Amino acid sequence: MSADAIARLRAQFEAELKSNGDLYHPIDIERVRTEDWQVKRFLLDQADGNEDAAFQALIKALQWKKSFGVHDRTDQYFPKEVWEQNAVEIYGKDKQGRRVWKETTLLAKHFVAHCIERVDRAAGETGFILITDSNGGGLANVDMDIMKFKIATIDLYPQALKGLYVVDLPWLLNAIMKMIVALMSEKLRSVVHYVKGPELAEVMDEQFIPVELKGGRDKHAFPADLQSFEARGPALGLDEKTVDTFYKTMKLPRPGKA
């Protein structure tokens, strides 16, 4: 990708800011101005090198980030139970240096967006891989609306997802997985791989693979300083009944209560 093409796309974006600057978050504006990858990725995603199409994809993605508040939520915004119950981790890298995101259950839309932004920032131009553990029939509990959102969100991060590894998919869930794959663009479908747990060692070092997937890591890699769902309830606008229902539904002990 030529430096001239990147410069031209940046110039288009600067012109866009003069009339629609309030549609973009300062973080994204600064990244487009200073990080080549944040421009280059949209150019690379156009098979025919169409710079106008790349520009439209760029502004669509960045306008969505601002409107959805992607940069307005920190790791600590989400209660620790949300991280733990969704088993979302960014841990280690695969053997090609790509960041790894492991997820097993339903994620709320804000959480999905936050995690994708988080791993994309950590990965940079190298990209990341997504590992979906279907042990225990996790895919059977997939919310298709959330899945559509996740797929659409990943599409707003061109050239980011380098591999989607579905681990130990039971044959009973083949139909569900086919439905999920059908929602994907051709680019995303091309990076889907079905593997057995032991085969992950061919993709990433064993030290990064959790013991549940026959690896050597027995500790989770969640963010630090997370508060409980109960403690975060008021800040999230959740009433007492909602908080109590959460703990009962998830069959979790509520802090401070027997």
Helix (H, G, I), strand (E, B) or coil at 205: coil
Sheet harboring 192-195: ordered strands across? Answer: 89-93, 99-103, 128-133, 161-167, 192-195
Mean pLDDT by 10 residues, the chain (258 residues): 91 97 98 97 91 97 97 93 69 64 51 93 92 64 78 95 88 84 92 87 79 73 88 85 81 76
pLDDT number for residue 102: 46
d(CA 146, CA 51): 31
Instruction: Give the pLDDT of residue 202.
Output: 85
Supply the pLDDT for residue 163: 92
**Helix, strand or coil, per DSSP, at residue 126:** helix
d(CA 60, CA 66): 10
Among 127, 94, 16, smallest CA distance to 24 is for: 16
E strands, the chain, in order: 89-93, 99-103, 128-133, 161-167, 192-195
- Alpha-carbon gap, residue 94 to 258, rounded angstroms: 42
Return the H-helix or E-strand segment holding 65.
helix 51-68
Superfamily of domain 75-213: CRAL-TRIO lipid binding domain (3.40.525.10)
**CB of 174 closer than 8 Å to CB of 137:** no
**Confidence at residue 103, expressed as pLDDT on a 0 to 100 scale:** 42
Do strands 192-195 and 99-103 pair parallel, antiparallel, or not at all (unpaired)?
unpaired
